Amino acid sequence: MTAYTGQELLDTLNDKGLADWQARNDSIGTRLLTGDFATGLDLVNKIGAAAEEAGHHPDITLTFPHVDIQLTSHDTDAVTERDLDLAVTISKLAASAGVKADPIAD
């Protein structure tokens, strides 16, 4: 399993169209601007269902008026394809809910 770090991680985020995600030391993250708690809760439930289906679980913080998401593969202490695939799914769920991301804010 490839562990993505540094420039390779930045390039991979770009290649996968994940401009709404920010590379961190051993993870990727984003802030989803839900605007209200109910929208955030609905989105978190959808993300939770997708995570269960993928067998890979993000760290999620639900607050008013946003949801913070962080993904890492704990078994490698790095970002792997599992994280990138789930990030793509989460971005699609957010877009379908009309929720924009602000990856720099968190």
Per-residue pLDDT reduced to its tens digit, 43-79: 999 999 999 999 999 999 999 999 999 999 999 989 9
Residue 78 has a pLDDT of 94
Please provide the distance, in angstroms rounded to a whole number, between the alpha carbons at the two ends of the chain. 28
Residue 46 has a pLDDT of 98
AA letter at 75: D
Residue 103 has a pLDDT of 74
The first and second tokens of residue 86, run together, are 């789930």
pTM: 0.94
Residue 105 has a pLDDT of 59
Asked if 87 and 17 touch (Cβ cutoff 8 Å), the reply is: no
